[in-house]
Amino acid sequence: MLESIKMHTRQKAIRIHAQSEKAVTCVDSKFGGEFYLPADMQLPASASGEEMEFLAQINFSQMPPLPGFPDKGLLQFFLCTAEEEMEEMEMAAPSSQGHFQVRYFPSIEWKPSDGHNLATHQKQALKGRWPMERLEGAMEFEQAEEMATLSLGEEGIITNLGAEAFVEQLTEDELEEAGYDLSDCADVDRFCMDFGNWGCKAGGYPSIRQGDLRLDEDGFEEYTTLLFQYDLTTQQELEADTFSFLIRPADLAACRFEDILLCWHNCY
């Protein structure tokens, strides 16, 4: 059954790794640090006026091709990290609620001498307001294929929105034959790590923990494409923060990034 799931749910993805030793400019694909900000543009702010923190940006001309995604332009991700704002943030929230913002620049007007087009990451000013590790450094891209995410919920094995039909016949007995005893905590952790699709990436399947958050509200199921996942999960830390930015396919095709759904989870 696992092979059947792999066959029927395969999707292309670009996995992204942080490389802290590689030099980058403010217009390169990167996590944290200095980022592109035109002189006439302000930093994004929450509904209460709180400045957001720069998380990452993808320069599509540097990323390998991915079906449906742009091949040029700069896409930026910002998050409000003020603790009071994060406490109010829903587990799944559209960008209209002001907890985060995605910005897209179809073209970049910048050269190294343009210091006025440079904004400095607010890390020191924001440090301690929200206790989360930050990724830093250049992005390294790796082409990949993923099968639908598998995890464990209150009612057994769960998967992503739209892939339910392919996994509904997967049983714990079959997983035990594959080497996963779901009555054993260590095996549960290994199963969730092996099939969780964790890590930073564009495309593919979002990671899930207790269920796909797009099932929580009417209309959320329309956001079927994983635009970007910013993820701190590791084998040693399975309860770290995961931010999955999702978009409607038609909006992605038109390079419209004003209406994004963010699913944030950080516990098993």
pLDDT at 151: 92
Q: What is the mean pLDDT of each run of 10 residues along the chain (268 residues)?
A: 90 96 91 88 85 93 97 95 68 88 92 60 46 87 97 88 90 91 91 95 95 91 97 88 96 97 84
pLDDT digit string, tens, across residues 164-187: 998 888 988 899 999 999 889 999
pTM over cut 0.85: yes
Residues 158/211, Cβ–Cβ less than 8 Å: yes
pLDDT at 239: 83
Q: Compute φ and ψ for 204, nearest 5 degrees.
A: 80, -150
pLDDT at 254: 98
Long-range pairs for 245-249 at CB < 8 Å and ≥24 separation?
245/77, 245/100, 245/102, 246/206, 246/214, 247/223, 248/222, 248/223, 248/224, 249/68, 249/224, 249/225
pLDDT at 64: 98
pLDDT at 121: 47
Residues 191/185, Cβ–Cβ less than 8 Å: no
pLDDT at 120: 53
pLDDT at 122: 45
pLDDT at 117: 57
pLDDT at 8: 92
pLDDT at 125: 44
Residues 243/92, Cβ–Cβ less than 8 Å: no
Positive or negative CA dihedral for 124, 126, 129, 134? negative
pLDDT at 242: 94
pLDDT at 268: 57
